């Protein structure tokens, strides 16, 4: 949950659309085939969900057809042709109510890549005064590399990004230090830190992110070559996950273009062979299955999605009312943890950062285990004796706490929805070094230093009158990214 994109909205774009073969074109089959497809299909849906969802997102964000669909729905999503960047001009704010729990700390930059024809060269400028990272993930939602302050430093650089099994010559002026993508289609998600809310610093951050550039390797070697048309994204078979042909056919076709289990990915041969028995996977065709199998797959898609929605709210390590994400977060599929990859990474946020890059803790309850209520009043206090979130300052690490409605949006019309570790320059800690965050609907009329306010939503404007908090730690210390022994302050109800 870190990007302004609501999976539920995407799922509803073409809800109810049917593209299945008519009953008269397929054999009925046997009753056991429906039961078998239902039981095995739920696991297949979870295993292959990133190929469905990320294929849909790629088409929406890079094609003229995708742009028309999102504009017709009144959505404002990132858009740029494949192999080029989209630069978000502003931080997340309550003005955008598209879900996804967007962070309010960094400017986003996105680029969908097609590496099937040739590698690309990613160029970045020197960025010495702020945090930045460019996260790289394959179509399976798992990360394969990073460029940024933590991983490659603050100097300018040119980096080769190549697909699986590419072994060509690399120019001497290009760094070949990134692992290969596991699939030809890949997503770059850049985040450029904004150190404070001033227009001057925002302009500096914008200038830094707009220095991100992508160049095909052939044109890098010969700039005189004509610019070729951008690659075209695969067109998904509808945008309704619950439709067997819309979901399963998209998965099958996407896996044909981006096969699972290709080195450097972990071997997937046993799963590919198993799911092929119900017509799911690379090279498989639903038209070769029986009506009984398709009925089982229809129910499996519905049940699989319901399971993912349930699981996305309750997986991780609970600490003092907060929840740490699983340690394999960001590369869960490479650990064979397919439910985490499907539910938390893909459905929850398209992709997710490695714990070494950033950790997002979340809570939906107070210290007594009661749901956070919009009409309640709460407080949490960071103290100097180990109570502040640990981060690596040399890599421009920092932390933030942001409040969201139950629909993963910032509170409408609020101006007090986030606080981060840059803010104490304007709101200095108290004399004892502590920083207290008051969480309530009404302005507490703060008169002393060391106190900050996060505004809860109007109970009438949020589902069930509830809200959640996300504590982000960028470039966290090992007690957060590894052992998960740092204890965040509890959110305590106040009278």
CB proximity list for 341: less than 8 A, separation 6 or greater: 49, 50, 140, 141, 142, 332, 333
Specify the DSSP class assigned to residue 382. Answer: E
* Terminal Cα-to-Cα distance of the chain (whole angstroms): 31
Question: SS3 for 181?
Answer: coil
- Give the separation between CA 233 and CA 55, rounded to whole angstroms: 8
Per-residue pLDDT at 428: 82
Instruction: Evaluate if residue 9 carries a pLDDT over 80.
Output: no
Please state the rounded mean pLDDT for residues 429-433: 91
Question: In Å, what is the CA distance from 30 to each residue of 37, 274, 278, 289, 293?
Answer: 11, 19, 13, 11, 9
Please state the rounded mean pLDDT for residues 77-105: 90
Write down the residue that tokens 């010495």 correspond to.
Answer: 128
357-378 pLDDT, tens digit per residue, is 999 999 999 999 999 999 999 9
- The 10 Å Cβ neighbour count of residue 368 is 10
Cβ atoms of 149 and 157 closer than 8 Å: no
Phi, psi dihedrals of residue 43, rounded to the nearest 5°: -70, -40
Please state the rounded mean pLDDT for residues 402-431: 89
Cβ atoms of 160 and 144 closer than 8 Å: no
Please state the rounded mean pLDDT for residues 378-391: 94
- Give the separation between CA 133 and CA 189, rounded to whole angstroms: 8
- Give the separation between CA 416 and CA 283, rounded to whole angstroms: 51
Complete edge-to-edge strand list for the sheet that includes strand 322-324: 317-319, 322-324, 358-363, 467-474, 398-405, 418-420
**pTM for the model:** 0.93
102-111 pLDDT, tens digit per residue, is 899 999 999 9
Cβ atoms of 5 and 242 closer than 8 Å: no
Architecture per CATH, 355-493: Sandwich (2.60)
Cβ atoms of 108 and 3 closer than 8 Å: yes
Please state the rounded mean pLDDT for residues 147-161: 98
Specify the DSSP class assigned to residue 471. Answer: E
Per-residue pLDDT at 393: 95
- Give the separation between CA 157 and CA 83, rounded to whole angstroms: 18
Confidence of residue 407 (pLDDT cuts 50, 70, 90): confident
CB proximity list for 320: less than 8 A, separation 6 or greater: 367, 487, 488, 489, 490
195-237 pLDDT, tens digit per residue, is 987 899 999 999 999 999 999 999 999 999 999 999 999 999 8
Q: Which residues pair with 138 in a beta bridge?
A: 186
**CATH 2.60.40.1610 intervals, the chain:** 86-218
Round the CA-based radius of gyration of the chain to a whole number and report it. Answer: 23
75 versus 47: the higher-pLDDT residue is: 47
Per residue, the 3-state secondary structure of 327-365, as one string, reads: CCCCCHHHHCCHHHHHHHHHHHHCCCCCCCCEEEEEECE
Confidence of residue 24 (pLDDT cuts 50, 70, 90): low
**CATH 2.60.120.600 intervals, the chain:** 355-493
Question: In Å, what is the CA distance from 130 to each residue of 55, 393, 474?
Answer: 32, 10, 12
Confidence of residue 246 (pLDDT cuts 50, 70, 90): confident
Which range is least confidently modeled, 166-170, 241-245, 341-345? Answer: 241-245
Task: For 331-476, list the strands marked E by DSSP.
Answer: 358-363, 378-382, 398-405, 418-420, 435-440, 451-455, 467-474
Burial class (CB in 10 A: 0-12, 13-18, 19+), 243: buried
Which homologous superfamily is 86-218 in? Domain of unknown function DUF1254 (2.60.40.1610)
311 versus 371: the higher-pLDDT residue is: 371
Instruction: Evaluate if residue 194 carries a pLDDT over 80.
Output: yes
Per-residue pLDDT at 345: 93
How does 291-307 read in b/e, with b if 16+ C-beta sit within 10 Å?
Answer: bbbbbbbbbbbbbbbeb
Cβ atoms of 38 and 300 closer than 8 Å: yes
Instruction: Evaluate if residue 331 carries a pLDDT over 60.
Output: yes
Please state the rounded mean pLDDT for residues 386-413: 93
């Amino acid at each position: 949950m870190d990007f302004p994109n609501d999976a539920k909205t995407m799922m509803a774009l073409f809800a109810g659309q049917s593209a299945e073969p008519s009953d008269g074109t397929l054999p009925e089959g046997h009753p056991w085939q429906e039961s078998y497809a239902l039981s095995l299909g739920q696991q297949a849906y979870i295993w292959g969900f990133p190929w469905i969802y990320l294929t849909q997102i790629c088409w929406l964000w890079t094609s003229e057809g995708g742009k028309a669909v999102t504009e017709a729905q009144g959505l404002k999503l990132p858009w740029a042709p494949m192999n080029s960047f989209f630069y978000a001009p502003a931080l997340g704010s309550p003005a955008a109510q598209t879900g996804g729990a967007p962070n309010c700390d960094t400017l986003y930059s996105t680029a969908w890549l097609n590496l099937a024809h040739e590698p690309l060269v990613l160029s970045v400028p020197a960025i010495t005064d702020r945090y930045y990272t460019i996260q790289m993930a394959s179509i399976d939602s798992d990360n394969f590399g990073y460029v940024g302050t933590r991983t490659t430093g603050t100097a300018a650089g040119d980096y080769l990004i190549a697909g699986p099994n590419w072994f060509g010559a690399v120019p001497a002026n290009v760094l070949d230090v990134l692992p290969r993508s596991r699939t030809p289609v890949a997503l770059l998600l850049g985040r450029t830190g904004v150190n404070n809310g001033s227009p001057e610093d925002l302009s500096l951050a914008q200038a830094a992110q707009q220095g991100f550039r992508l160049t095909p390797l052939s044109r890098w070697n010969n700039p005189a070559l004509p610019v070729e048309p951008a690659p075209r994204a695969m067109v998904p078979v509808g945008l309704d996950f619950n439709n067997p042909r819309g979901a399963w056919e998209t998965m099958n076709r996407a896996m044909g273009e981006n096969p699972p289990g290709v080195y450097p990915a972990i071997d997937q041969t046993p799963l590919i062979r198993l799911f092929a028995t119900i017509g799911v996977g690379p090279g498989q065709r639903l038209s070769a299955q029986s009506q009984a199998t398709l009925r089982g797959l229809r129910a499996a898609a519905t049940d699989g999605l319901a399971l993912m929605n349930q699981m996305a709210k309750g997986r991780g390590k609970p600490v003092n009312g907060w929840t740490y994400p699983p340690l394999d977060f960001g590369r869960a599929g490479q650990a064979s943890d397919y439910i985490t990859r499907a539910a938390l990474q893909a459905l929850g946020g398209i992709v997710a950062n490695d714990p070494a890059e950033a950790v997002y803790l979340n809570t939906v309850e107070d210290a007594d285990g009661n749901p956070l209520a919009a009409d309640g009043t709460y407080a949490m206090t960071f103290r100097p004796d180990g109570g502040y979130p640990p981060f690596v300052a040399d890599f421009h690490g920092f932390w933030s706490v942001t409040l969201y409605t139950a629909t993963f949006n910032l509170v409408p019309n609020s101006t007090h929805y986030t606080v981060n570790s840059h803010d104490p320059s304007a709101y200095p800690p108290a004399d004892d070094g502590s920083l207290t965050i008051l969480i309530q609907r009404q302005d507490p009329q703060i008169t002393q230093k060391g106190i900050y306010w996060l505004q809860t939503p109007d109970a009438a404007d949020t589902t069930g009158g509830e809200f959640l908090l996300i504590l982000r730690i960028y470039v966290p210390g090992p007690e957060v990214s590894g052992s998960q022994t740092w204890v965040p302050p509890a959110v305590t109800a106040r009278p």
